[in-house]
Chains A and B, each alone.
Chain A
Amino acid sequence: MQKIIRLQNLLTFVTESSHSSFYKKHFGTSMNHKEVRTYEDLALLPSISKNDLLQTPLSDRLYIPTGRGLVKVVDSGTHSFLIKRVLSELREEQFGNLGERPTVLFSNGHESLEKSLWCYEQNTLPMIGESTNIPITEYFVHRYESDSFLGDIKTLESIFEQSKDAFLPGSQFTLCEGGFDLVRIKKHVPLDSTTLILSFPEVGACAHSCPYHLKNNRLVFHPDKNSIIEHDTNLTVTKLIAMPTPIIRYITDVPSKTEEYSCDCKEEVSFSLT
């Protein structure tokens, strides 16, 4: 289904929901959701920010109260808030290409758990590492003959500081974060076996690095199939999957801009972080 139709369905869903009025209140009378026919129309709706999530208890922004899943704590530095994921939508996430025996290792334990459940949903058995005990995690990576990594740059660095050859030759590395430093990444892993997934704990994945540009040392992203991204401003994300806590026009603190570079991916949209 086209993204724009999925968007219209999502807007209808949140404005007609009997479970939560979070977005209805937030949109107010700014416009009728039925008038959203293009991405430009979407930009006329008010955005939400981390502060809105912080100030609204989970129970007041929960549009899908049922379903097996996980509630995770998202830490914003001084305060925390809850985000719920259910398996039926978590499995749709685009967290990169898994090998057969992935190591999942994020600095934050909630992220590791969420991504590990996602691995289960892809019929893959994850080895969940302990970011507070890297020596033991490196031992487990080795024992598991792990052929892929799903985590962040901090944990990747710490594993490589512990051992240069923890992973099998030819392993795939996927980093899920809100921003990337290619110089730092290249120190440890070759870019042609690396996928960068632009993601945020409260949002999930929203875009992936263009492999063509990455090989040439350029950080260009394409929105994933579940996301509409507004760039040329602070990156603003709308997620089209049926999340219990939907994400519509969520404005991040990451500045971005539209890229005119072309590539072979046949993707319509390209953007970079500035």
Chain B
Amino acid sequence: MTDKEKLDSYGLKPLEDMKKSGCSKDYMIRVSSGTSGKKPVFMIQNKSRDLGKEPLFSNQFKDVRRIVFFGGMLNARLSSAARFLFYLGEDEYTILAVDNVDMNSSLEGLFRDFKPEGFIGFPSFIARALSFVNDKRVLEHVKAVRFSGEMISDAQKELFHDKIPQATLENIYASAEVGYMSGVSCSHLKESQYHPYERVNIEIINQDEDGVGDLVVSYNLSPSIYINQYVTGDTARFLKSPCVWRHHNI
């Protein structure tokens, strides 16, 4: 088993590799802010695990070129920016990373100017941003919204259907310290259901009679470092339907 502290200690081994190789562009930084008295996590990881060519987006994102990132730590926004600008082939993405200080009434004018086509971020942050936009025409180019980090509430869902009715909403299961744990959202899955990401191994331990238990993941942090059974702190159960896996966020 790997807990947060142990994960954090593994995360410095790739730093030594990086220093030796002198080739920092093969690496990425992963951090989490360490909530509720827990220590933050700082890790260097070989970028190959998470920054492949596969975009992990549904088809709805295929034509999206102007993307707004919302909230989260700057490191998360930078990693997302790097993914689009450096690793997703030749497409001409333009990104706008909305910061906390931009969350005011000038947002409507900025969106009118930027003409966003896709949104990525925490549902609560996107919902707060949309509350500053009264003229829905500003959002008419938004084709798709990708959430992660939290579950979307009914009130937020309603707001999105009102402000961006034309956009498809999709969800991914990821965390700041691990990264992607689910793959592309697919149409026959409900909101809290995911397909596992192929580059992590997912197990559910301490299952109760309904199969609900603690979600642990195992994966390669770098070619030489294997993270064994990291305890995510979430509970989940497997589904037997065509879509195999179910996750409850707690």
Contacts and interface: CB of A to CB of B under 8 A. Distances in A.
Interface of A: 57-59, 66-73, 75, 79-80, 82, 84, 87, 100-101, 108-110, 112-113, 116-117, 120, 123-130, 132-133, 136, 139-140, 143-145
A128 B113 contact: no
A100 B19 CA distance: 8
Interface string B98-109: 111110001001
Given A112-B74, A125-B25, A82 B15 contact: no
Nearest to B90: A68
Interface stretch (B29-37, B131-139, B180-188): B29-37
A140 B110 contact: no
Given A58-B113, A133-B33, A71 B25 contact: no
Contacts of A145: 15, 19
Contact of A116 (B42, B78, B99): B78
A46 B109 CA distance: 28
A71 B42 contact: no
A59 B106 CA distance: 17
18 contacts: A59-B113, A67-B92, A68-B84, A68-B93, A69-B94, A75-B101, A80-B109, A82-B113, A82-B114, A84-B94, A109-B100, A110-B97, A113-B77, A123-B25, A124-B24, A125-B18, A125-B27, A136-B34
Given A68-B94, A128-B74, 17 more contacts: A68-B92, A70-B94, A71-B96, A79-B106, A82-B110, A101-B24, A109-B77, A109-B100, A120-B25, A126-B78, A127-B75, A128-B29, A130-B74, A133-B33, A136-B31, A139-B40, A145-B15
Nearest to B97: A113
A133 B100 CA distance: 13
Contacts of B114: 58, 71, 82
B86 interface: yes
B225 interface: no
Nearest to B28: A125
A116 B93 CA distance: 17
Contacts of A125: 18, 24-25, 27-29
Contacts of B73: 130
Contacts of B40: 136, 139-140
Contact of B82 (A80, A101, A110, A120): A120
Contacts of B113: 57-59, 82
Given A84-B94, A140-B42, A145-B15, A68 B101 contact: no
Name the residue among A72, A73, A79 with the largest chain B CB count within 10 angstroms: A73
Given A58-B114, A71-B94, A125-B24, A109 B42 contact: no
B202 interface: no
Contacts, number: 115
A43 B197 CA distance: 59
B1 interface: no
B239 interface: no
A133 B15 CA distance: 23
A74 B32 CA distance: 27
Top 9 closest A-B pairs, CB basis?
A: A125-B24, A109-B99, A143-B42, A71-B96, A57-B113, A128-B74, A58-B113, A68-B85, A128-B78
Contacts of A127: 29, 75
A108 B33 CA distance: 19
Contact of B100 (A59, A69, A123, A132): A132
B29 A70 contact: no
Contacts of B110: 73, 80, 82
A66 B18 CA distance: 34
Contacts of A130: 33, 73-75
Contact of A113 (B18, B25, B29, B78): B78
Contacts of B236: none
A69 B97 CA distance: 11
